[in-house]
Amino acid sequence: MIQEKLPHDVFDKLTQELRRGILVLAVLSRLDEERYGYDLISRLDEKGLEIEQGTLYPLLRRLEDQGLLTSEWNVEGSRPRRYYSLSPEGRTVLNALAGEWRRLAHVMDEMLEDITPEGGENEIN
Amino acid sequence: MKLIDRYLHEVKRHLPRKNREDILAELRSSLVDALESQAGEDASEEEARALLKEWGPPREVAASYHPEGQYLIGPALYPLFRMVVGIALAAVIGAQLLAWALAIAIGREPFVLWDALASLLNSIPMTVGSVAIVFMILQRFEVRPELEEDWDPSSLPRITDTEEVKRGELIAGVVFSILVLVLLVAFPEWVGFVTLPEGRFYANPVLGRYLGWIVISLLAGIGLNIYLLWQGRWGTVTRVLKVAVNLLSIGVLALLVRAHTTWLAARDAEGFLMTLEKFPELLEEGFHLVGMHAFRLAFGVALIVTSIETVVLIYRLLKAQLGKEYSPQGLKSEIN
């Protein structure tokens, strides 16, 4: 219903904004152990969260600048790869963010409970 | 992989200098990882092309590494930039109009309209450009306007209704204009000055020639004022009309100042103060010169005042037009 009424680019933009906030949490949650970029993309993909490399790599660098991740080049494999993992601060932030996420998810679930899926009460037009 | 090399070379050109090589190395290993997992160890050129297409244009990939986006003047500085440009433009254009008015009034060099317009057109990009360069430097060094931490909501400025007309001013304007009009049309010989020793009256010899223009300009002003009194509010149309009426007045005043200048020049008159100084020796003719100088001065002042008022009007009009789509008034008028 909504997709039919709303211009597609508006819907896409809103979805993107919604996803942008959770990507940090998703990435942090997978970096309990050392992983390199492409590996991380595949793991998130397996779990059902698609992330573009153009989004992931700059995000990893930003998180490292913020002190949440540490990274190092590892030349042992078939080619040199940059491995990222949580720093102690990153671990603390991950726990705090996870708590906040559960709280928000609970609030949102309750809020969206009385929305009819057919869009009968939607006032978007 | 030749294609990947070419791709990365292009990405490199747009990357921030900091960590450039490191970012490139990581991109390379990730690209090869992706290619191998999709197409195996000996991927073809065609498969590499498909992968790169998926990653996106090099410029876009590089841009995602600029943490704050790439701005000449960023969103934090932009409102301040707009304000400063507005003020600077108003000041520069105002100064230019003032200089023209003075040039016409003094009349030492012939006033060439095209030259004047060209210099005005020159000064606009100069002004905007100079302000932009200063702000680009501020942006480059990440200067940010300070945000007031402890602002007080009660210190917010009051909302004044700028659309309400000021009745007193309009009525005074109409009355004054009608008086001048009657005086000029009915008793043109009364507009002049008295020469003292004999107490003889001397009519201004220049005014009569431009009587038609003066009357038109006064009538236009009276008409607009009456219309405004009737409407009670300023609107876009009346503001534009006010600018037009003012421009007409500026033209007529400039003509008058010029005519006086020519009259004085024809009599080898010196400056106002010099004439005043010499005037005991000049006797009757001296009175004529002083009188005409006084007329010229009065018209010159009126010319300058009207010019400044017009610049302010135009500035406000432009500002109101530009801001319209965001203002509630603009919305209202669209709905109605």
- Enumerate the residues of chain B whose CB falls inside 8 A of the CB of residue A79: 29, 32-33
Q: Sign (positive/negative) of CA torsion B93, B97, B102, B103?
A: positive
Q: How confident is the model at residue B335 (pLDDT cuts 50, 70, 90)?
A: very low
Q: What is the pLDDT of residue B178?
A: 85
Q: What is the pLDDT of residue B333?
A: 44
- Enumerate the residues of chain B whose CB falls inside 8 A of the CB of residue A54: 55-56, 60-61, 64
- Enumerate the residues of chain A whose CB falls inside 8 A of the CB of residue B59: none
- Give the gap in angstroms from C-alpha B64 to the nearest C-alpha of chain A: 6
CATH of residue A7's domain is: 1.10.10.10
Residue type, B3: L
Domain count, chain A: 1
Pick from B23, B33, B67: which is nearest to A38 by CB? B33
Distances in Å between the Cα of B141 and the Cα atoms of B65, B137, B138, B161 are 19, 6, 5, 40
Q: Which residues of B touch A (CB under 8 A)?
A: 19, 22-23, 25-27, 29-30, 32-34, 37, 55-56, 60-61, 64-65, 67
Size of interface A-B (CB pairs under 8 A): 49
Give me the interface pTM, i.e. the ipTM: 0.78
Tens digit of pLDDT for each residue in B124-146? 999 999 999 999 998 888 777 77
The pTM for the full model equals: 0.54
Report d(CA B255, CA B303) in Å as an integer.
10
Q: What is the pLDDT of residue B285?
A: 67
Cβ–Cβ contact A58 with B under 8 A: yes
Cβ–Cβ contact A11 with B under 8 A: no
- Enumerate the residues of chain A whose CB falls inside 8 A of the CB of residue B58: none
Q: How confident is the model at residue B107 (pLDDT cuts 50, 70, 90)?
A: low
Q: What is the pLDDT of residue A59?
A: 92
Domain containing residue A81? 2-113
B284 or A1, higher pLDDT: B284
Cβ B33–A36 below 8 Å, yes or no? yes
Report d(CA B156, CA A107) in Å as an integer.
36
- Enumerate the residues of chain A whose CB falls inside 8 A of the CB of residue B55: 53-54
Could you tell me if B199 and B284 are in contact, meaning their C-beta atoms sit under 8 angstroms apart?
no
- Token pair for B146: 């300070």
Report d(CA A102, CA A113) in Å as an integer.
16
pLDDT tens, position by position, for chain A (125 residues)?
A: 444 556 788 888 898 888 888 999 999 999 999 999 889 999 999 999 988 888 899 999 999 999 999 999 988 877 889 999 999 999 999 999 999 999 999 999 999 987 776 654 444 44
Q: How confident is the model at residue B274 (pLDDT cuts 50, 70, 90)?
A: low
Cβ–Cβ contact A101 with B under 8 A: no
Does A121 reside within a domain?
no
Mutation target to probe the B interface, by most B beta carbons within 10 A, among A23, A43, A65, A82 is: A82
Does A123 reside within a domain?
no
Alpha helices in A1-125 (DSSP H): 2-5, 8-29, 37-46, 53-65, 88-113
Type and span of the H or E element at A72: strand A69-74
Nearest chain B alpha carbon to A56: B64
DSSP secondary-structure letter at B147? P
On average, the pLDDT of chain B sits at: 80
Tens digit of pLDDT for each residue in B143-188? 777 766 777 787 776 666 567 788 888 888 888 888 888 888 777 6
Q: Work out the average pLDDT over B1-30.
A: 89
Domain ranges of chain B: 2-63, 78-144, 167-335
Does A90 reside within a domain?
yes
Q: How confident is the model at residue B195 (pLDDT cuts 50, 70, 90)?
A: low
